[in-house]
Amino acid sequence: MTSLEIRDLGVVFSGKEILSGLNLNVSSGSYAAILGPSGCGKTTLLRSIAGLITPASGTIRFGKQLVSVSSLVLPPHKRNIGYVPQEGGLFPHLTVGDNVGFALSRDLDKEEKSSIVDEMLKLVGLEGFNSRRPHQLSGGQQTRVALARALAMKPAMVLLDEPFAALDQTLRTEISEEVVALLKATKTTTIMVTHDREDALVSADLIALMRSGQVVQSGAPTQVYSAPISAEVAQSTGDIVTLPAYMSADQRIYSPLHSSSSNFDPNGELLIRPEEIHISAVSQPAGKNQVKAAISKINYYGHDALIELKLEGWELPLRARVTGNIDFRLGQAVYAELQGPLRWVPRKATHQ
Amino acid sequence: MPQELLERNTAALRKIGTLQYFLYLASLLAVLCAALPLAYLLNRATSSDADSISTVLLRAKSINVLVTTLTLTAVVTLGAVLVGVVLAWILNHVSIRNMTAWRAATVIPIAIPSYVFTYCWMTLNPGLRGFWAATLVLILSTAPFVTLATLAALRRVDWSQYEVAQTLGLNPLKTFFKITVPQIRNQVAAGALLVALYVLSDFGAVALLGVDTFTRAISNLYRGSFDRSTAAVLSLLLVAISAVIISLESRVRSDSEARRASTKIVAEIKPFHSAKLRLVSYLFLATYVSLSLALPLMLLMSRFISNQVELDFAGLTSATFNTVSAAAIGAVIAVSIALPVGVLLQQGSRLAKLADASVLVVHSLPGIVMGLALVALGSQVGWLYQTLGLLAFSYALLFMAKGVGSVRTALAKVPTNLLEISTTLGQNKVQTIRRVAIPLAAPGILSGTLLIFLAAMKELPATLMLRPTGFETLATEIWNYTSISRFSEAAPYALTLVLVAAIPTFLINRPDRSENARESS
């Protein structure tokens, strides 16, 4: 197991900067998720870590060992990393057992090899699948075999590229849980690339959010969710509402949700998660920051609902997440209240 | 720390370097081998003075030969492409009963040597002579080259693309031209090239049907034996023509070699069931198979049965054994050189491209020219002369192009991501080539080997010149009997040759397993 440290990484493809000035730290044994929209360069980052592409600048370290200094790179076969690409990438000409044993040293004798293979298959819950062929497996089984193949070589680090993207929703939850539990139990340093925020939030100890070739924020899931540095970043971990706001020199916030502040000149925005907006049909005397609003739309999801509101006196939309019994109707006048942290970000940060 | 990294790196690079060095060496060897007959021709041609060369070239007869050769090549190639693509399309897209049998039957005609094929047709219709007769015979016997190449390409076109195209308002014909053609173009072009080079170098059909092409003119000149320099000049002209055709083919080949990045599932083909289409398809298949396979086989059978002379079993057995062993050695030599060239070609190396082009040029040489070149070599190196080794080497030289082509397409089919995964699993470049690329490309490489084996078994002119004394093959025995008009006695040898050659043909055509498995999803 090893830690990963990336400093100032830059990758250029045919004159175009794919990654630039990227920094990332992953401590030994932790599970990191690189989360970002398609085209942000997350797969390129993973391939740089694997040594499959040569960066233009920057350094990559595995623990203390330098594996990449600008365009000087250690070739992939010397890095001891377990790479699980999208769709598993099993060798179609080999059986499941031979796939898993692919990276095992030729110095091992047959029995040692087969016992490692058996152990790995058992680990991923595919005991006795040794003689099957890759095309006889389902998508989820292929992913698990690919993982077993990567783990068999006792890698310093495992790299997963959208490992669950090909699976349907029910299978996905089940398999991702199994795989994550497995990797965590073996204390394997894992870097997973995904565009699915739930995958990232559920599984990772560390989330690195990527935007146009850079890691814009990284931290524990709860931290990146609750303390986003910009509206855009906040969007990548969940639903977000922005409202114009003013922060005074003494750090007091004025916004449409603050009943006392009717007139202010916004110098930033307030980032609000819909579940932090509480609405009720009746005014609650204790709530200082209660404002009047009208329901303009109801998106019902079953377990909860997103209710769109128009704040009285403001032509601004606001969304509230309501769980449990949802007994609101369209056009109803309600009282909205912010029950959460005040996340004020200056104007500029939102246009990054 | 960077210092240490640098050292590790150069060590790794040096290892890759050794492989590269070997690949270059093998490609260089291929170029040198191909240069051998060409050097011989140049040497011969320059030994006559410039005046006599220009007289040869400007003679009205030479111009005629040139025009005939070019027209025949163009018409046959066009015809074979039409027939071959239609056959492949039917076999791939129409719901046909006994598909496997039809597939085999449409491809097996390449197992029949053109001299046997032509001779069968001539027994049927003794008046058959001339340009159009040769065109018909050659189209029928070369169409399978196109069918084989196109079948392989069609199998890999994702069916969902057809469906999408049709929902976008394209009719089946437009779909074929807009969706299918661009994706099979490279393979069809490769098949067409094989046909064109076959026609350029073919001797049997044109000799028997009396069409004056370069091959016939060259061998007539050699037979006359006093004028080898003129023959060499004509051979070089032939080389120039094939060089032009080869460069034409590489232009048709699209730059973006379709290389699959990953192992995505390809939607299964849903064949057409329309009754009208099926009827037309059956008619087309039946016509082709009866003209190119059933008829000649039946003729050979009837000749065989009506044969009064007692069959020389020992002779037949030894001729079969000789044919198979010489062809097998040739195929193995050819593939051992073609494999590294193909690997290097995949990397886009210029040396490999040169090697590819030169083996293709040599492929268009008539067997008689190769025979003479190697006889000349044998006369310099005494211990080589009239050995099985030299005969096998001539096969390797003549047909190596088929091997290089097969290796190239087979390697192009190996998904790049599997090669990358192998390197992340700690395998260096050599190990990756050995453990992933070669096994995955194996069916294609094997097909290439079988194609060489097949062509070598049918080869006649070079075999006649280079075989060790007393070494009879099936081809030479057929020639021995037919040249003294004992057709019926030739029939058993011809039948045996067709049967033996049908085995590799059948194996090549067998839908290979990895293709069936659709790789891993």
**Tokens 């020219």 label which residue?**
B369
Chain A residues whose beta carbon lies within 8 Å of the beta carbon of residue B514: 92-93
> How far apart (Å, rounded) are the C-alpha atoms in residues B402 and B411?
14
- What pLDDT is stored for residue A337 in this prediction? 85
> How far apart (Å, rounded) are the C-alpha atoms in residues B215 and B204?
10
- What pLDDT is stored for residue B13 in this prediction? 54
**CB-based contact B12 A75, cutoff 8 Å:** yes
Kind of pairing between the strands at A190-194 and A206-211:
unpaired
CA–CA–CA angle B254, B259, B263 (5° rounding) = 150
> How far apart (Å, rounded) are the C-alpha atoms in residues A282 and A264?
27
> How far apart (Å, rounded) are the C-alpha atoms in residues B439 and B74?
38
- What pLDDT is stored for residue A350 in this prediction? 44
Burial class (CB in 10 A: 0-12, 13-18, 19+), B303: buried
Chain A residues whose beta carbon lies within 8 Å of the beta carbon of residue B520: 88, 90-92, 133-135, 137, 142
Looking at every residue in chain B, the average pLDDT score rounds to 83
Quickly state the pLDDT bin for A210 (edges 50, 70, 90). Answer: very high
> How far apart (Å, rounded) are the C-alpha atoms in residues A58 and A218?
19
Chain A residues whose beta carbon lies within 8 Å of the beta carbon of residue B4: 66
Section B69-86 average pLDDT: 95
Section B143-171 average pLDDT: 80
Maximum mean pLDDT: which of A192-196, B10-14, B71-75: B71-75
Quickly state the pLDDT bin for A260 (edges 50, 70, 90). Answer: low
* Residue % of chain B over a pLDDT of 90: 20
Q: A261: how many CB neighbours lie within 10 A of its CB?
A: 15
Q: Which residues contact B236 (CB under 8 A, 6 or more apart)?
A: B41, B42, B45
Higher-confidence position of A263 and B266:
A263
How many beta-carbon pairs below 8 A join chains A and B?
Answer: 109
- C-alpha A349: how far from chain center: 21
Decide: helix, strand or coil at residue B245: helix
- What pLDDT is stored for residue A93 in this prediction? 85
Section A177-181 average pLDDT: 84
Kind of pairing between the strands at A304-311 and A291-300:
antiparallel
The token pair at B219 is 């061998």
Quickly state the pLDDT bin for A352 (edges 50, 70, 90). Answer: very low
Give tens-digit pLDDT for B374-405: 888 887 877 777 889 999 999 999 998 888 88
Chain A residues whose beta carbon lies within 8 Å of the beta carbon of residue B262: 85-87, 89
**CB-based contact B420 A83, cutoff 8 Å:** yes
Quickly state the pLDDT bin for A221 (edges 50, 70, 90). Answer: very high
A294 bridge partner residues: A310, A333
The answer on pLDDT for B171 being more than 60 is yes
**CB-based contact A135 B517, cutoff 8 Å:** yes
| Closest Cβ–Cβ partner in B426, B517, B518 for A103 | B426
Q: What is the dihedral of CA B33, B36, B39, B44, to 10 degrees?
A: -160
Helices (H), chain A: 42-50, 96-100, 110-123, 139-152, 169-185, 197-203, 221-226, 231-237
Q: Is B520 on the interface with A (CB under 8 A)?
A: yes
The answer on pLDDT for B517 being more than 60 is no
The answer on pLDDT for A49 being more than 60 is yes
- What pLDDT is stored for residue B512 in this prediction? 47
Which of A69-83, B150-164, B400-414, B457-471 is predicted with the least confidence, judged by mean pLDDT? B150-164
Higher-confidence position of B286 and B253:
B286
Q: Is B517 on the interface with A (CB under 8 A)?
A: yes
Domains and CATH numbers, chain B: 26-257+273-292+309-513 (1.10.3720.10)
Q: Which residue of A has its CA nearest to B440?
A: A93
* Residue % of chain B over a pLDDT of 70: 88
Q: Is the dihedral of CA B107, B108, B109, B110 positive or negative?
A: positive
**CB-based contact B421 A83, cutoff 8 Å:** yes
Q: Calculate how close chain B gets to A102, using CA atoms only, in Å.
A: 8
Quickly state the pLDDT bin for A154 (edges 50, 70, 90). Answer: confident
- What pLDDT is stored for residue B201 in this prediction? 86
Q: Are B361 and B193 in contact (CB under 8 A)?
A: no
The answer on pLDDT for B516 being more than 60 is no
**CB-based contact A83 B12, cutoff 8 Å:** no
Higher-confidence position of B99 and A289:
B99
> How far apart (Å, rounded) are the C-alpha atoms in residues B201 and B239?
10
**CB-based contact A92 B262, cutoff 8 Å:** no
Residues of chain B numbered 9-28 and touching chain A (CB < 8 Å): 9, 12
Higher-confidence position of B284 and B365:
B284
Decide: helix, strand or coil at residue B493: helix
**CB-based contact B262 A133, cutoff 8 Å:** no
* ipTM computed for the complex: 0.77
Kind of pairing between the strands at A157-161 and A190-194:
parallel
> How far apart (Å, rounded) are the C-alpha atoms in residues A182 and A84?
15
Distances in Å between the Cα of B456 and the Cα atoms of B141, B333, B336, B436, B473 are 16, 12, 16, 30, 11
> How far apart (Å, rounded) are the C-alpha atoms in residues B403 and B67?
30
Crossing angle (nearest 10°) for helices B474-483 and B313-346: 120
Among the listed residues A239, A245, A252, the one whose alpha carbon sits nearest the alpha carbon of residue A270: A245
- C-alpha A239: how far from chain center: 14
Decide: helix, strand or coil at residue B312: coil
Chain B residues whose beta carbon lies within 8 Å of the beta carbon of residue A102: 422, 425, 427, 435
**CB-based contact B425 A77, cutoff 8 Å:** yes
Q: Is A303 on the interface with B (CB under 8 A)?
A: no
Q: Most A CBs within 10 Å: which of B414, B421, B435, as the mutation test of the A interface?
A: B421
- What pLDDT is stored for residue B115 in this prediction? 85
Section B104-128 average pLDDT: 85
Q: Is B6 on the interface with A (CB under 8 A)?
A: yes
The answer on pLDDT for B521 being more than 50 is no
Quickly state the pLDDT bin for B282 (edges 50, 70, 90). Answer: very high
Looking at every residue in chain A, the average pLDDT score rounds to 86
Quickly state the pLDDT bin for A60 (edges 50, 70, 90). Answer: very high
Give tens-digit pLDDT for B425-444: 988 888 888 899 889 888 88
Quickly state the pLDDT bin for B515 (edges 50, 70, 90). Answer: very low
CA–CA–CA angle B350, B356, B360 (5° rounding) = 145
